[in-house]
Structure 1
Amino acid sequence: MSDTNPITEPRLCLVAITKHGAAQAARLALDLPQADICTSSKFAAAFAGVPNQVKAYDGALRDEIGPLFAGYDQIVFFVSLGAVVRLIAPHLRSKDEDPGVIVVDDAGQYVIPVLSGHVGGANEWSERVADLIGASPVLTTASDVGRTIPVDILGRHLGWRVEAPKINVTRVSAHVVNGEPIAFVQEAGSPDWWTRPTPLPDTIHKFARFDEVPLDRYAAVLWVTHEDVPAGRWDALKERLVVYRPPLETA
Structure 2
Amino acid sequence: MNVNLPFANERVAVVSITKHGIALAGRVVAAIPGARLFAPEKFRAEAEAAAPGAASCYTGKTGDQIPALFAGFDGIVAIVSLGAVVRLIAPHLKDKEQDPGIVVLDEGGRYAIPMLSGHLGGANALAGVLAAALGAQPVLTTASDARETLAVDLLGRELGWTFDASHDEIVRASAAVVNDEPVALVQEAGSRDWWARHANGRSGPLPANLKRFERLEDVDPERFGAVLWISDRELPAGWAERLAGRRVIYRPPQEAA
The one-letter code matched in structure 2 to 1:9 is A
* More displaced stretch, 156-165 vs 68-77: 156-165
Deviation at 1:130, TM superposition (A): 1.7
1:9 maps to 2:8: yes
Query: Normalising by structure 1, what TM-score?
Result: 0.91
Distance 2:203 2:12 in 1: 25
Inter-partner Cα distance in structure 2 for 1:15 and 1:193? 34
Q: Is this contact kept in 1: 2:7–2:74, CA < 8 A?
A: no
Q: Give the Cα–Cα distance (whole angstroms) in 2 for the partners of residues 176 and 52 of structure 1.
A: 45
* More off after superposition, 235-244 vs 130-139: 235-244
**How far apart are residue 51 of structure 1 and its match?**
4.5
User: Is 1:153–1:162's contact at 8 Å kept on the other side of the alignment?
Assistant: no
Change (3 A) 1:49 1:169: closer
Who is 1:224 aligned against?
A: 230
Equivalent residue number for residue 3 of structure 2: none
CA distance in 2, matches of 1:8, 1:171: 27
Partner of residue 23, structure 1: 23
Q: Is contact 1:103-1:113 (8 Å) kept?
A: yes
| 2:115 alignment partner, SS class | strand
Counterpart residue identity of residue 103, structure 1: V
Q: Match for 1:13: what amino acid?
A: A
Seen in structure 2, the aligned counterparts of structure 1 residues 21 and 231 have a Cα distance that, compared at 3 Å, is: farther
Structure 2: where are the runs of 5+ without partners?
1-5
Match of 1:3 in 2: none
1:154 match: 155
Structure 1 residue 244, shift from structure 2 partner: 0.8
SS in 1 for 2:37: strand
Secondary structure of the residue aligned to 1:190 is coil
Label 1:161 to 1:231 Cα distance change in 2 as closer, same or farther (>3 A): farther
Greater RCO between the two (CA within 8 Å, min separation 6)? 1
Aligned residue number for residue 112 of structure 1? 113
CA 1:199/1:51 → structure 2, altered by over 3 Å: closer, same or farther? farther
The equivalent of 1:54 in structure 2 is 55
Aligned pair count?
A: 245
- Tell me which stretches of 4 or more aligned residues in structure 1 moved more than 3 Å: 49-52, 214-217
Report how far residue 190 of structure 1 moved. 1.4
Query: Which sits farther off after the overlay, 206-215 or 56-65?
Result: 206-215
Q: Which moved further from structure 2: 211-220 or 200-209? A: 211-220
**Is the Cα–Cα contact under 8 Å of residues 33 and 51 in structure 1 kept in the other structure?**
no
For structure 1, list consecutive stretches of 5 or more residues without a partner in the other structure.
Answer: 1-6
The answer as to 2:237 corresponding to 1:238 is no
State how 1:81-230 maps to structure 2 within 5 Å. Answer: 81-194=82-195, 195=198, 196-230=202-236
Per-residue deviation, 1:231 = 6.0
Q: CA 1:49 to 1:84, structure 2 compared with 1: closer, same or farther past 3 Å?
A: closer
Amino acid at match of 1:24: L
Report the TM-score, using the length of structure 2 for normalisation: 0.89
Q: Which residue of 1 aligns with 2:32?
A: 32
- Which residue of the partner structure matches residue 247 of structure 1? 253
Q: Secondary structure at the match of 2:194?
A: coil
How far did 1:232 drift? 2.1
Q: Deviations over 1:161-183 (max 9, x none)?
A: 21123322211111111011211
